[in-house]
Structures are given as C-alpha cells and as structure tokens.
Structure 1
Amino acid sequence: MKLHLAALMAAAGIGAMSLATPAFAQVTLKIWSIDGVDRPGIADTWSKEFDEANEDIVVEYRAVPFDELVNETLRAFATGNAPDIVSFDNPDFAMFSSRGAMLDITDRVKNSEILSKAQYFEGPLNSVTWDGKLYGIPKYTDTIGVFYNKDLFAKAGITEPPQTWDEFAADAEKLTDSAAGVYGATFSARAGEEGTFQFLPIIQMSGGGYDHVNTEGAAQVLDLWKKMIDNGWASKDVLSLGQWDSTGTFNSGNAAMAVSGPWEVDRMIEDAKFDWGVTLLPTITEGGDRSSALGGFDWGIMSTTKHPDEAFRALEFFSSKDGTMFEDFGNLPARADIALPASGDAHKDAALKVFQEQLKYAQPRGPHPEWQKISKAIYDAMQAALTGQMSSKDALDQAQASIDTILGK
C-alpha cells in the first residue's frame, strides 16, 4: 500500500508545520470494470500493478457486475461522479462516445510511443471509433469459428471441414446419427445477444451490416438453419441455448460441429474424448467475403476526468501488458503484432491459430449508440424465421423496417 508523505512523517513524529510541502502531488484515478466480480481479471490485476508502479498516482478500482455496468456508469456520468477510466463491452462503447461521455484520444494515441505502434485488428479498433475519432483502445477480443469432430467426419467419409454454409448444412445431414443421439451441428440462435452474435456475421458477409440486414444471402443462410432444425440435423434446443450450453453438446460428442469461440478451447481439451479441430466460419459462396463476430471489451477515459494525462498513462501501461494477457488470463489480445505463446498442446495451438486468423475478418456489432434495439430487431427476425412464424425474407424485411425507424431513416 502506498502512503502519502504526510502520513509517513506524522508517524515518525514530525510536526505538522513541516508537512506543508509533500515531495510530489498524488492524484487519484477511479477505474471501473467487471473484472473481479466472480474471478480475478485483467482490469483489477493491471490496475493494481499500475498503482504500484506510479508513486504519483493512487488507483481506486471498483468491480461492477456486467448487468449493472452500463446503467451504473450512465448514472455516475449524469451526476458528475463518473470514474476516470471504464472498460465496456465493445457494442456498448458507441453509446457513450456518441453522447460526449468519452474523451477523444485520437491525437494522444498518434503521439504515443507505445500506442502508436500497437497493431490492432480492424474490427476491435472500429469498435472504439466514432465519427472518425478514437475514444478508446481495445482491451481484449474474441470471435467465432467452427469446431468439428474429426473422428465423426472420418466415419462419415468427409475429408475436409465445410467452407460454405451450403456445405455446412450438407455435412450436418451426413453427420447426423439419430440412433446414436448425434446431431450434425449446433449453434446458438436464442432470442438474445448471443443469437445476434452468431447471425450478424452472416449478414455482414452477405454485403450487409447493422443498418442493412435484409440481404438475399442472409435469408438464404437463415433458410439453411431452419432446414437443419426441421430435419433434425440440429436440435431445436439451438433456439434457446446460449453458446456455452450449445457447445457443451459438441464437447460431449452429441454434435459433430459447433459454432463457437476460443473461450471453449480449454474446456474442450479437458472434456472432449475425440479428435477435433477448428476451421474458419463458412462463407456464403465459395471464395466469398468473410466475416465473424467480435466480442471482447474496450478501455476508455471518461470525458469528465480531471486527470486526462494520468488516465492516458494508465491506458499506455495496459497496452504495454497486452503480451502477457493470454498467458495470464486466457484472453486473446486485439492485436496482430502479438504472437500467442506455444502451449505445448497441439489441439490448442492449432485452434488458436485459426481464431487469430478469424480476427482479421471480425467486425463490431454496430458501432451504434442504439445497438441494443438494433440487436433485438435482428434476433427477433431470426427467431421468427427459424420457428416458422414468417419466411426468412419477410422476417428480415420486418427487422429492416424496425432498424430504419431506429436509425431515423
């Protein structure tokens, strides 16, 4: 623990008159993040290290539960009690940037010897950009690809993992073994953010985006997903399962393919009793455009901070630690200039290589300040199509109409 000079001298019995001029001025930085709520994480660990490395700065770190972070920060900003630095889930960042709540650090980054050299992937960097200006830096990232059971592929005579969504559906049919309780594929199409997380990349690779969701390619893939569910090549449970539970059916050998992310790798090494691999997310057409989901958190400095220089030093410190992120916390750095250390496990190293390749194509959710409303329009359409309430085209057209209203078109 760091003590003010005054406290040290008082403890030594030195009179108050000699305490008027401390050796240096200390400032307090308040940092908020979700890390530390249920387990140690990047923000609480690195904040402590930054505090210990800088005698002129005292860090007050606060762990805020994920479901409370956005509203708690909005209230704090409105009442003048905002932290100096906050770490948001990347789709929430644009809301704060667009409202003037985040500090523009464009020039600071450009002139920083540390941050100007960091080679961030395009997607994570876009998530902290608003109106052409930089309001934060990526903290860490993740994405999705396709896990596949090599043993079941060999048994079905399939030599290569699917490259297109048509191949994905065709392989799912061949891999389904109802008698053995094995589905061809699993994914998450639940009515929530995880559903949008898995479906938005299909919209993006079909030439669309958060503001243009009713593309022909997106409707085609939605039709394929419905076909897989209707024919039993994917369980109806994909309509309600989150990514963790959905992938659990793959880990147990009850699904031959799973759309999921790098957070699953360690669990798979421990649980899977079969040979497995990871491949890039399929494209809509052979050799077509790629995309993938972008997860992870971003760092930002609140615009109300009284200590912008010290807060920016903290961001530089955090960036300088990115090389240790994966080894210490299991999170993927959002940077192309950082190589992951070899783990000694062939499955893990091969899988992570694919996910780092996938990050080259990952795009943010948005960015837009009304992302939550846009996301709901997308997953509502997905659910309506997959449950047969509407055709895929009509469901996406309805979502587009809702999104146009949100965007003021």
Structure 2
Amino acid sequence: MPSARAGRILVAALAGAGLLVSGCARPSVGSDRDDPTKPVTLKFWHGWAERGEVKAVNDSIARFEKAHPNIKVETIGNVTDETMNQALRAGGSDAPDVVSSFTTNNVGQYCSSGMWADLDPFLKKSGVDKKKVFPKTLLDYTQFRGRQCALPLLADAFGLYYNKDAFRKAGIDRPPRTMSEFARDAVKLTRRDKDGSYRRVGFMPSFRLYQNSPDRMFAQWGPTYFDAKGKAALAKDPRSKDFFRTQLKLINAQGGYGPLEKFRTMFGDEMSSQNAFLTQKVAMHMDGEWRGRMLKEAKAPFHWDTAPLPVPDDQADTYGRGYLNGTVIGIAHSSMHQNAAWELVKFLTTDTDEVVSFANAIHNVPSTFGALNSPKLDADPTFRAFLDIAKNPHSSAPPPSNNGGQYITALQDFSYEVEAGRVPDLDKGLRTLDAQIDADNLQSEN
C-alpha cells in the first residue's frame, strides 16, 4: 500500500492498541538475553516514504534475511519521530525492535531518556571498533554524554551548487573558496532587468530559503555552541559575530534585505520544477547531495557543478569542510530481541557492501570509512564533492542536546532578526540568545 496511507493506518492501530499515550517517564524494559540464532521476527520502523527509497530499504532487508535466514523483518515506513516515541514509551509486543530517524537533533533525547538502548556493549561484543568504522563527526551526533544509543545510517553533506554557464559569462574560472571571494562572485553573478528588478542573484543568503538553515552555513566557521560545562557559548566565540557580519555583507552587497526578500518570495517550491537554482534565479546555491540526482532527472538546461562551501578568510586552510547530518538507527530499549535486533543494525551500518549499495540506491553519502573509499561507490564527479566533505576532518554537525535541538530553533529565530536588521547590537543579542538556550536546557532537565 502507499506509504502515506500505511502511516495513517499505523497511527490508528497504535491508538487502538493503547500505544499512543503520554507520560511514562521510564521506557519499557526489554531483553538482551535472546538467542539471535533462533527463529524470530523483528519490527523495523523507519521514515522513508518515497517509492524508490522504500524499495531500497526493502532490498536491504532482503539481503539481510538471505544472510540471516532465521530472522524475518517486518518494516513499516513513513513513521514520524513522534509516533515512534509514543510507541517506545509504551512498549509491548506491537512496538518496534529497530528504529531509525532522520532527526539527528533528537539523539540527545533518545539517549538521555533511555528509550534507545546503549549500543556500546553490542559493539564491544561484536569486536567493532566504532572509531575505526565511522567518521568522528557522524559518531559525535549519534551519542550523547558518553552514551552511544544510535549509529549512522548514511549521511547528508551540504555543499555549493554553481551554474558553470553563468560563471563563464561572468569571467569566473572556479568556485569561491573564501567568504570574500564568495561576496565578490555573488555580485558579479547578479543580473537585473532595466527596471532594476532581479533576474538572477549570485547567491540568495536568506536563512528562510530551502536548506539555508543558519546552522548549516555556520558550520563553515566551526562554531562552539557550548562550553565544557554545557553552557551556551555563542556570545563568547568571536566566530559567531563574524558569521553574522559576513551574512549581512552578502545581503547588502546584492541589494539589501528588502529587495532580496521580495525576489525570494517569487521562487518556486524547493522540490518542484520551479526550484530557484533549476530555473536559474540563483547562480550559486547551498544544498545536499541529493540535489544532483534531481537536477539530472529534470535535465537542467545549463551546465552545473558542485564544490565545498567557502570558509572564512582567516580559516582558508579548512576549505573542503561542510555541514553533516543524516539518518540514525538504534535498538528499542523495550525490545525483547535486542541481540537479533543488533544483527540487523550491525548489517545495515557496518557491512561495507551493504552501506555502498544503500547509498548508491538513494543517492546519500555513505557513513563508514570503508564505504566512502569503496570502488563500488557512485563515481559521478558531482557526487564525489560531497564524499570529500564527509571525509574532511573539519566538517561538523551541531552537538546533540537533551531537548531535541531547541537551541537550533532559537538560533534560527535570532538569525531571522539579524538578517532583517533588527539586531543593532550583536554582542547583546548573542548574550540574550545564550541565556535563552541555557534556560531552555534547564527546563528540559527539570
């Protein structure tokens, strides 16, 4: 059945079974004493819903079942984090054994609540050295306060898409590598009609555009969100002010916030044929690795390529870095078949050929060193740029928190005010932002 309908039926079934309940401060207790060689059926819940992605998941499960004939896996897709968490709180035979999520910001909650089992004992028992298997950044966003409750299941890397035809006509021979080059090229690439209205901007800096969430661009600075004691530290880090000042320079160099916002509202939907990069309303664009496949399927009427996003001028040696996040997978603490569940998690996350096959199928970045360096990986040069970003030691992801990344939401709201020119004193504004983040974290812990 269509995955969207499957999701609705799942919610109704859970409600009927009494699983959609709130409260339950402690998760249901499962068992890690099961024999994974005995016949068993596992329930695997995931969020993929697009037909090709669901097929890729099912193909992976088929490969697993062939290698483990005693384990059958029932999959349910298009499951939201909220539905999954409600079922995990309640536990019971209808709850999942293996769970995955697209929301890395929620890992802190999964780990601190205990709803996702600690995977370190399973890794140790299997002889898997996680630091040798997974890139550090991906490990960082799958654990919280020393608890490895999740593992990476493919990743997303964010980089720069650029219109090669527009670059050639503007006399630009390569993508920008520093923020000063970025601003210079953005101005050169901007085109206006005779009445002064925009025909194209070099780069649309608005934090409200598509994937332009401020934390993704901020990754180019290597920011410090929290100090060693867990207190918000954005106001103390000079890179925070430099980030916002650079953003304002980009805005002002291309005509100012008001005109740019007016032009942005004329852009089409991100996932449609009216995407602003596809329709050449922007010459440079920040996006994830999946955009390349979409541009090819849409037969973009111009030549394009990919590169890492620029970095601050005083960090030129870090060029090649980028923002990373991705899908995470774990074992439900309530599962009575945790050893069998681990066999599935281990297969999906550490088997090099499996990770490569899945990455190629859904055009995501693989999440292990072995898969990143595999000759079987998609050789498309426009995809390779994102593989290099994933392997770059300077690439980063926002740290997990105990409240599902509420600090990222606070950063977004603050960033909207900054770009609109409504924060005259950045120092004061950043101190207020830190105080808000600390208050939100304290409330979550109480």
Please give the TM-score of this superposition, normalised by the length of structure 2: 0.75
Q: 1:311 to 1:87 in 2, by over 3 A?
A: same
1:178 pairs with 192, 196, 201, which one?
192
Q: Where does residue 358 of structure 1 map in the other structure? A: 389
Pairing partner for 2:322 from 292, 313, 329: 292
**SS at structure 1 position matched to 2:99:** strand
Q: Deviations over 1:36-90 (max 9, x none)?
A: 465543444323443454332232211134xxx2211221122123311100122
Letter in 1 for 2:301: K
Candidates 168, 173, 177, aligned match of 1:163: 177
Residue identity matched to 2:303: D
- Quick check: which has more Rg, 1 or 2? 1
Match of 2:302 among 249, 262, 274: 274
Conserved 8 A contact 1:238-1:246: no
Question: C-alpha offsets along residues 246-297 of structure 1, whole Å, 9 cap, x if unaligned?
Answer: 9922222222211112111122234332232222121112425464222210
Worse-superposed segment, 118-127 or 259-268 = 118-127
Match of 2:250 in 1: 228
Q: Is the 8 A contact 1:106 1:134 kept in 2?
A: yes
Greater Cα shift, 392-401 or 310-319: 392-401
Kindly report structure 1 stretches of 4+ aligned residues shifted beyond 4 Å.
Answer: 113-118, 191-194, 206-210, 237-247, 288-291, 340-344
1:360-375 to 2 correspondences below 5 Å? 360=392, 361-375=394-408
Counterpart pick for 2:434 among 400, 403, 406: 400
Q: Secondary structure at the match of 1:325?
A: helix
**Separation (CA, whole Å) in 2 of partners of 1:251 and 1:306:** 49
Residue 315, structure 1, aligned to residue 333, structure 2: no
The reply to whether residue 95 of structure 1 matches residue 109 of structure 2 is: yes
The 8 Å contact of residues 107 and 144 in structure 2, kept in 1 or not, is answered as: no
Q: Which runs of 5+ in 2 are unaligned?
A: 1-36
Separation of aligned partners in 1, 2:50 and 2:137: 27
Higher deviation after alignment, 90-99 or 150-159:
150-159
Is 1:71 the counterpart of 2:85 in the alignment?
no
CA 1:239/1:134 → structure 2, altered by over 3 Å: closer, same or farther? farther
Report which stretch shifted further, 241-250 or 362-371: 241-250
Identity of aligned residues (%): 22
Q: Which residue of 1 aligns with 2:275?
A: 248
SS of equivalent residue, structure 1 residue 182 = strand
Amino acid corresponding to residue 171 of structure 1 in structure 2 = D
1:116, distance to aligned residue in structure 2 (A):
5.5
The one-letter code matched in structure 1 to 2:424 is: S
Aligned mates of 2:384, 2:361 — CA distance in 1: 18
Aligned to 1:18: none
CA contact (8 A) 1:206 1:289 kept: no
Distance 1:47 1:250 in 2: 36
Q: SS of 2:328's equivalent?
A: strand
Match of 2:234 among 190, 210, 213: 213
- The question of 1:381 aligning with 2:414 is answered yes
Q: 1:45 to 1:194 in 2, by over 3 A?
A: farther
Q: 1:154 to 1:191 in 2, by over 3 A?
A: closer
CA RMSD of aligned residues (A): 3.1
Is the Cα contact below 8 Å between 1:186 and 1:255 reproduced in 2? Answer: yes
CA contact under 8 A between 1:188 and 1:246: conserved in structure 2? Answer: no
C-alpha displacement of 1:132:
2.0
- The answer as to whether partners of 1:34 and 1:64 remain within 8 angstroms in 2 is yes
Q: Which runs of 5+ in 1 are unaligned?
A: 1-23
Structure 1 partner of 2:15: none
**CA deviation digits over 1:116-174, x for unaligned, max 9?**
69632211111112222322221010111111222222222222321122221121111
Structure 1 residue aligned with 2:96, among 83, 89, 93?
83
TM-superposition CA deviations, 1:6-30 (whole Å, max 9, x none): xxxxxxxxxxxxxxxxxx9522211
- What letter is aligned with 1:106? D
Q: Which moved more, 1:284-293 or 1:142-151?
A: 284-293
TM-fit CA distance, 1:206? 4.4
Contact persistence 1:191–1:240 (CA under 8 A): no
Q: 1:45 to 1:34 in 2, by over 3 A?
A: farther
Matches of 2:166 and 2:145, distance apart in 1: 48
1:303 CA drift (Å): 1.4
Q: Is the 8 A contact 2:289 2:363 kept in 1?
A: no
Q: How many residues align?
A: 378
For residue 88 of structure 1, what is the amino acid of its counterpart? S
Among candidates 40, 43, 48, match of residue 27 of structure 1: 40
How far 1:93 sits from its partner (Å)? Answer: 1.9
Deviation readout 1:195-221 (Å, 9 max, x if unpaired): 14423414x524556943333333233
Amino acid at match of 2:250: M
1:257 partner amino acid: M
Judged with a 3 Å threshold, the aligned counterparts in structure 2 of structure 1 residues 195 and 36 are, in CA distance, closer, same or farther, namely: closer
Q: Give, as a single letter, the amino acid of the residue that structure 2 aligns with 1:222.
A: F
For 1:297 and 1:83, the matched residues in 2 are separated by 17
Instruction: Report if aligned partners of 1:85, 1:302 keep a CA contact under 8 Å in 2.
Output: yes
TM, length-normalised to structure 1: 0.81
